[in-house]
Amino acid sequence: MLDKYTCLKKMAARRTDEVIVSTMSVAMPWAELSDGPLDFASVESGMGHAADFAYGLAMARPERRVITLNGDGSTLMCLGTLVTMAQRPLPNFTLVITDNGTYEVTGNQPVPGAGLTDYAAIARGAGLQRVHTIEDEEQFDQMLPLHFEGEGPLVIVWKIERGNEPVPKPALPIHERAHRLRQTLVGTD
């Protein structure tokens, strides 16, 4: 099993100018590592929509890599995004699914199908070709560049240890985070 915090630290150290959309149990640990104008914590909207939001950003900005750090519960709530990704493949899009089998930020309730659901198989079943599962740190280190450079759409499932993150509370309100991201991507107020 992977340690989420170690993986995020390695991602942050490797990152250059990619847009990172994080959600739920990954949002606050990521914000401790990187909270710049190309980071967007998607936590106040309906759970499950970080991936489709990030996919839209990747579609609008094809010259820039967009990476979503999404939980298994969030992925389960919006499986249709996988079908959309397959039907309209974007080479600049990476979806990371952090699979620990729980809704971590609301008390570690089990995600439906925890321990049974194979998110990589679901992604392949939706028609996606570039799908990987990472279960240990050695694999993670070998595949880290793929997150940033691999032709998308990519789905990378991180098999992570259970955690206990509190409900995410970003430093900036959502409207300010959205404005900052928009201003950085399109250069307008």
* Separation of alpha carbons 77 and 50, rounded Å: 11
pLDDT of residue 92: 98
Tell me how crowded residue 98 is: count the other CB atoms within 10 A of its CB: 28
The domain of 157 spans: 4-186
pLDDT of residue 149: 94
* Separation of alpha carbons 82 and 31, rounded Å: 26
Domain containing 87 — which CATH number? 3.40.50.970
Number of domains in the chain: 1
Phi, psi angle pair for 169, to nearest 5°: -135, 90
Phi, psi angle pair for 116, to nearest 5°: -110, -30
pLDDT at 18 over 80: yes
Q: Which H/E stretch holds residue 44?
A: none
Query: Per-residue pLDDT tens for 118-148?
Result: 999 999 999 999 999 999 999 999 999 999 9
How is residue 161 written in tokens? 């240890």
- Predicted TM-score (pTM) above 0.85: yes
Lowest mean pLDDT among 6-10, 155-159, 173-177, 182-186: 173-177
